[in-house]
């Protein structure tokens, strides 16, 4: 028993975010994270990590509880999605309970990838150092043929190195993280809040 995943990848499925993640960011990030860790990286991606017959909310909670950290693909619409907010909230709850993000321990367990301007981000996202991918947030095959793509790969490589540091410094796993207080109650708190709701599309 313990961690199953190095990273829980949290992102909007809708275009262009979902396409950019799956076609551009994810393949190179997973490969380079493995290089930085010195072993194959284990990522939870809902499109491949939830199988037919499994219950979506329960599987997401299980994966969150067993992930070292969360990487979020941050845009203003990301923070309008109830699912994305719930995913972030679970890891924020862990940070707060374990004393992360304080003067004594400035480290965090959430690493953001900023793909749009952060003016409309919530305070915790604005205060967190995030990887800036705004200049590389393009959908379609034309991006791979552009001179920007080499710079994009360099940026992802640097980002993967930082995420590896977070993974390596993650606290020892605790079975408490899989309990109602750390999962169901956190989801319920977001669902009952005033945040606008935007459901994720069905997996494909």
What's the whole-model pTM score? Answer: 0.89
CATH class, 5-191 region = alpha beta
Rounded CA Rg of the chain: 16
Torsion of CA 191, 83, 17, 161, to 10 degrees: 120
Length of the chain: 204
In tens digits, the chain (204 residues) has pLDDT values of 699 999 999 999 888 999 999 999 999 999 999 999 999 999 999 764 344 344 458 888 999 999 999 999 999 999 999 889 999 999 999 999 999 988 898 899 999 999 998 888 999 899 888 999 999 999 888 899 999 999 999 999 999 999 999 999 999 999 999 999 999 999 999 987 734 444 444 333
pLDDT of residue 202: 39
Q: Under DSSP, is residue 148 helix (H, G, I), strand (E, B) or coil?
A: helix
Element (H, E) at 85: helix 82-98
Residue-range domain boundaries for the chain = 5-191
Residue pair 76/120 in contact by the 8 Å Cβ criterion? yes
pLDDT of residue 63: 93
pLDDT of residue 139: 85
Measured between its terminal Cα atoms, the distance across the chain in Å is 30
pLDDT of residue 72: 96
């Amino acid at each position: 028993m313990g961690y199953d995943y190095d990273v829980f990848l949290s992102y909007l499925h809708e275009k262009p975010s979902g396409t950019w993640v799956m076609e551009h960011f994810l393949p190179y990030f997973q490969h380079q994270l493995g290089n930085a860790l010195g072993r194959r990286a284990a990522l939870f991606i809902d499109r491949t990590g939830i199988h037919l017959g499994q219950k979506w909310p329960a599987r997401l909670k299980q994966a969150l509880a067993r992930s070292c950290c969360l990487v979020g693909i941050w845009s203003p619409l990301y923070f309008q999605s109830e699912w994305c907010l719930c995913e972030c909230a679970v890891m924020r709850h862990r940070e707060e309970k374990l004393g992360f993000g304080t003067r004594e321990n400035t480290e965090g367990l959430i690493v953001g990838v900023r793909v749009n301007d952060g003016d409309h981000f919530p305070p915790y996202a604005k205060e967190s150092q995030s990887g800036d991918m705004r200049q590389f947030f393009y959908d379609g095959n034309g991006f791979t043929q552009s001179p920007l793509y080499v710079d994009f790969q360099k940026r992802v490589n640097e980002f993967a190195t930082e995420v590896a540091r977070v993974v390596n410094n993650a606290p020892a796993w605790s079975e408490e993280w899989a309990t109602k207080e750390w999962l169901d109650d956190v989801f319920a708190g977001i669902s009952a809040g005033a945040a606008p709701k935007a459901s994720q599309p069905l997996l494909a």
